[in-house]
Structure 1
C-alpha cells in the first residue's frame, strides 16, 4: 500500500479519483509536461478497486488493468450511520459480545483514548513507538512468529514522526490510566485512513482490545467525515467480520506503445503477472504457510513460560486467610499474574483500583485475588 505509507505516485498519472463520486484525491501539477517521465514501463500493484487512475493526456502510453487474487478489506464510511447500527449489521446476533468488550474494559480500568494527528513531541513519539514495538514482539513471540514490519522498523521510526506532524499519519492510543495498552499507527491520504500497524498488551486479551480499537477508529472516521477506513490485504477473520467493503486489488501495466522494445517487455511482465495470480488462485502460498507451521516448534508457548498446571477456586470467605502478603503485579517478579488478574476483573466486573493480589504464606505457590465483592484463589501445581 505504497500510496498511503510512502505517498509515492508514478508520474505517469494525471490524477487519482474515487470510483463512487469521481472526486479527485490526487491531481498532478497542471504545469507538468508529458515527456518528463523517467521510465517507459510502469507496473503498479495493489490499487484499491474503489480508486480510478487517469493517465496524463496527449501521451503515447497504454494502460492495461487486471484484477489480482489479493482481496482488500475496507470500511466504506458512507454506509455507516453510527457505530451501534454498524455493529448490528456486521456482527448480527454477536454485536452484543463486541460491545461488551468496550463496556467491560471501561468498567474495570481507568480507560482513556488519545489520537496524535498533526502534533506530537519527539519524547512522546519515541515512547509510544518503543511501546508499540514491545507489544508486537511479545505478541508474535507468543505465536512463534515475527511481524514482517519489524524488519523495517528503523525506516518506519525515522519517517513517521514528521508524517504525524504533517497530518500524513496518526497514532491512536488506548490507555489504562497512563499506560498504553493498544497502539494503532495509521496513514492518511485525503479522506482515506489506512490502518497500517497495530498491537495491544496481550495481558488484556480477555477484553477484546482489538475490537475496542476498531470501534473507536470507526467513530473517529465518522466524526471527521473520512471516506474509507482501509485495512489493506491479508485474509484475516477480524477483517472479514469488520469490513463492509471486500474487494479485489487492481494491477496496472502502463507502457509506451511507440517504443519497439517496451511493448515486448510489457508482455513479459503481463505473463509473469498471470503466473503469480495462477499460483495465488491455487493457494500455493497457503500450502507453504501450512508446511512452515507444521515444522515450527513451540507454536503455542505460554506467556510466562510456565509448565505448571493452574487451579482456580472461587472464595466466599476470603478473611479466613490470615497470613498473606500484598504483592504488586506490575513488578517484574509477579508479572505472570497480570493475565490472571485481568481475567478475574473481566468475569466479575470488578475495578482494578479496588482489586488486590495477596501471596498466601501458608500455601506455597498460592495467591488470592480479592475485589470488593468477589475473591479467587490461584494455585500453581507442578
Structure 2
C-alpha cells in the first residue's frame, strides 16, 4: 500500500513526520488533544505563502482521529478522510491516579495476579526497571537496542514471520537516542542483572505518549513480563503528568484489557481545489482508498478466523529428564555455563517456568552443557533439558 501511495501521491505518514522526524511545522499550524482540548503542538509563525505544491494529491496516513489538527497549507484545499485501522488508548487524564486506573480497569483477581507475578519475578531474579527519559549514554543505548533487535527477531521467528525484524527498526535506532535526550521519547527497560529482558520504545507529542513498539524475552512469559513492563510505563505516565497513553494500531488481547477507549485511524487525501487536474486526481485517489478499506473491513471477520493458529510450541520441542542428586551429578565432560549462554529459547523458557513453579532463585541454580543438552542442578534435584533436534547454540554454529 505504501509503495502505491508513493507513486500516486505525495505520501506522508503522520507518525513518522510528527514523532520520529519532528518536522511537524512542515504541515501543521497546531495539533490538539480532543479529549482535553490542550494543545500538543503550535507553530510560532504560519507560512507566508502556504501551498503543498504540485498537482499530485497529498495523502496523510496513520492520523489518529482523536487528534484535532489545522494544516498550514492555505485555504484553497479540499480534505477527504477515510477510516482505516482501529486504535486504542488510555485516557490517563480521566483518572486521579495510577491506583484508581487499576481499580477501575481490573478486578481484584486481576490486580492480585499482577502483584503475584511482580513479586515472583523479583524473588527469582535480580530485577530492576529503568526508564530513559532526558538522558542516556550512547554505549548504554547501543546495548539496549542490540538486545531489542535480538528479542524481536526471536519473537518474529516464533510467530512464523519471515521478515525477522520490524522494517522500521533501523530508523528507530537512528533517531531515538536524540529524542530521548530531548524528552520527545522514552525507552523502558526491565533488566535481569545487566541483561535487558523487556524493552519498549515510546514517542511523545505534548502530553501524549505513543507506545510504538515493544518486545520481551519469551523465556520469562510465565511471569507476565509484558504486562509488568506495560504497567511500569503506565505508572510512569501518571507520575509525569501525561494525558494519554496511545497503544496505536493493532488488535491484540492485551490492548483490549488495558485500554479504555477505541478510535479509528484516518487517511486524509488533500488536493488543490482550483486546479481541474488536481481535483480529478485527488477524487480518484480518495475513492480508490475508500473502496479498498470498504473491502478490507467487509472481509476482516473472514480473515480473522485463520489468525488464531500456531501458538508457542515450546512444550513439544523439549524433553525434560529428572535424575538423582548425588556425588556423580556433574560429569568431567560437562562444561559449566551461565543462563545467558544457553541459546535455546525453549530451554531458557523451561528453566524460567521452573523458577516460577518452585519459587526458585535463578542465582541458586547451576547449569552444565554437554553436546545437545543442558543439565540444571538445584539444591533439591537435577533436571536435564534437551531439544528435539540439534540445539541452536553459538558453540554449535561455530
Unaligned runs of 5+ in 2: 1-14, 389-398
- Distance across 1 between alignment mates of 2:175 and 2:73: 33
Moved more, 171-180 or 217-226: 171-180
- Report the 3-state secondary structure (helix = DSSP H, G, I; strand = E; otherwise coil) of the residue aligned with 2:166: helix
Q: Which residue in 2 is equivalent to 1:259?
A: 275
- Distance across 1 between alignment mates of 2:293 and 2:387: 52
- Distance across 1 between alignment mates of 2:23 and 2:369: 57
Q: Which residue in 2 is equivalent to 1:42?
A: 58
Per the normalisation by structure 2, the TM-score is 0.80
Q: Does 1:344 align with 2:354?
A: yes
Q: Which residue in 2 is equivalent to 1:370?
A: 378
- Distance across 2 between alignment mates of 1:381 and 1:141: 17
Cα distance, 1:209 vs. partner?
0.9
Equivalences for residues 144-183 of structure 1 within 5 A: 144-146=160-162, 150-183=166-199
- Distance across 1 between alignment mates of 2:102 and 2:374: 41
Q: Which runs of 4+ in 1 moved over 6 A?
A: none
Q: Tell me if the contact between 1:324 and 1:358 (Cα under 8 Å) persists in the aligned partners.
A: no
Q: Tell me if the contact between 1:83 and 1:215 (Cα under 8 Å) persists in the aligned partners.
A: no
Equivalences for residues 244-283 of structure 1 within 5 A: 244-283=260-299
Match of 2:240 among 217, 221, 224: 224
- Distance across 2 between alignment mates of 1:258 and 1:334: 63
- Report the 3-state secondary structure (helix = DSSP H, G, I; strand = E; otherwise coil) of the residue aligned with 1:324: coil
Q: Does 1:5 align with 2:20?
A: yes
Q: Does 1:54 align with 2:64?
A: no
Moved more, 328-337 or 68-77: 328-337
Count of residue correspondences = 365
Q: Tell me if the contact between 1:218 and 1:229 (Cα under 8 Å) persists in the aligned partners.
A: yes
- Distance across 2 between alignment mates of 1:44 and 1:148: 28
Moved more, 210-219 or 3-12: 3-12
Match of 1:91 among 96, 106, 109: 106
Q: Which residue in 2 is equivalent to 1:72?
A: 87
Cα distance, 1:155 vs. partner?
2.7
Match of 2:200 among 176, 184, 192: 184
Unaligned runs of 5+ in 1: none
Cα distance, 1:99 vs. partner?
2.9
Match of 2:40 among 10, 14, 25: 25
Cα distance, 1:351 vs. partner?
2.1
Q: Does 1:215 align with 2:224?
A: no
Moved more, 277-286 or 245-254: 277-286
Cα distance, 1:167 vs. partner?
2.1
Cα distance, 1:133 vs. partner?
0.3
Match of 2:154 among 138, 151, 154: 138
CA RMSD, aligned part only? 3.4
- Distance across 2 between alignment mates of 1:42 and 1:94: 46
- Distance across 1 between alignment mates of 2:171 and 2:68: 29
Per the normalisation by structure 1, the TM-score is 0.83
Q: Tell me if the contact between 1:231 and 1:239 (Cα under 8 Å) persists in the aligned partners.
A: yes
Equivalences for residues 307-318 of structure 1 within 5 A: 307=317, 309-311=319-321
- Distance across 2 between alignment mates of 1:98 and 1:15: 39
Cα distance, 1:160 vs. partner?
2.0
Equivalences for residues 96-115 of structure 1 within 5 A: 96-115=112-131
Q: Tell me if the contact between 1:144 and 1:300 (Cα under 8 Å) persists in the aligned partners.
A: no
- Distance across 2 between alignment mates of 1:63 and 1:25: 22
- Distance across 2 between alignment mates of 1:207 and 1:312: 24
Cα distance, 1:78 vs. partner?
1.2
- Distance across 1 between alignment mates of 2:295 and 2:198: 36
- Distance across 2 between alignment mates of 1:161 and 1:13: 25
Q: Which residue in 2 is equivalent to 1:120?
A: 136
Cα distance, 1:208 vs. partner?
1.2
- Report the 3-state secondary structure (helix = DSSP H, G, I; strand = E; otherwise coil) of the residue aligned with 1:283: helix
